[in-house]
Amino acid sequence: MQTKYIFPLINIAPAYSYKMSYRFPIEELERHLSKNKSTILRTEHKHFKEGELIKTINSRLEFDGKDWVDKSGLYYTCHSNYDALTDWNESHSIEYIESNAEIISDAFFQNILKFQANQNYALYLSKNRKTFISDGQLKFGAARTIDQIKAFGKWVEGYPDGNLSINKNHDQSLVLINPYNAKARVKIELINERIIKKYYDLPSLCAHRITISSLLANEKSWSGQILISGKFRLVFFILKHDLKGNNITTVEHSENYRGEKTHYSFKETINKLKLKFKL
């Protein structure tokens, strides 16, 4: 399959007092580029908030078939757009970033459906707060999501280590990002000895941060699994922080409820091997 672009990658924009640094995985991109001609790429980083595109930053990369001769678009750094801590804490609506690369010369990516960045991390830095990293998520083309919806007819992702403790000053946020042009409704399930269900609507091109403490207003302590499901996929992160949201510990991504098989018949195994080795 020949294409001019990669599937966009989604990251959370930096919180108050943070900046973000992101590096395009050019080593993986190189495997999908022609080795006998020059390729020029435009890198693009789009910032969205509350359904609006608020800014776009473009740069470029150039590969001469052997080496990267222009790396000006390799790194992208941006500062927080929040003017005060209250801007970050008092609004559930947050900013997200969509990053991609597109070939603008007479060339194509080859077999881009097999593109998988092994180290696709965004780094979040602050002068007086903990540094943390986040693994960006594909906007389209996530193979496990495709398998899952094919097998079960809906999108389901979970996180096994949900925690809230008022006494220990610990909270977590569900960061739900809808980078698509249609609004979405999801079911949030908080699971331990009992199951607490909430339904949540998310407008298009929006990201919302929902604290566990707000979902469990009368609870002083809770531990369990978090499950998000819906007819269509969203991008889902877990943000760990103190009760006031001042100090962020880390950002983690969820895991798909798997749609692929775990056991295959002998005939199915032979057919998979034939496809893999093109026999």
> Tens of pLDDT along 42-71?
999 999 999 999 999 999 999 999 999 999
Give backbone dihedrals phi and psi of 70, rounded to 5 degrees, phi first.
-135, 115
| Of 93-107, 110-124, 146-160, 217-231, the least confident | 110-124
Q: Which pLDDT does position 39 carry in this prediction?
A: 94
Coil/strand/helix, residue 184:
strand
Q: Per-residue confidence at 259, pLDDT binned at 50, 70, 90?
A: very low
The answer to whether the CB of 72 falls within 8 A of the CB of 23 is no
Q: Per-residue confidence at 142, pLDDT binned at 50, 70, 90?
A: confident
Closest listed residue to residue 135, CA positions, set 116, 154, 111: 116
- Which CATH architecture is the domain 142-257 placed in? Sandwich (2.60)
Per-domain boundaries in the chain: 1-140, 142-257
Residue 260 pLDDT more than 80?
Answer: no
| Burial letters 81-108, b for 16+ CB under 10 A, else e | bbeeeeebbeeeebbbbbbbbebeeebb
Residues 279, 262: Cα–Cα separation, whole Å: 23
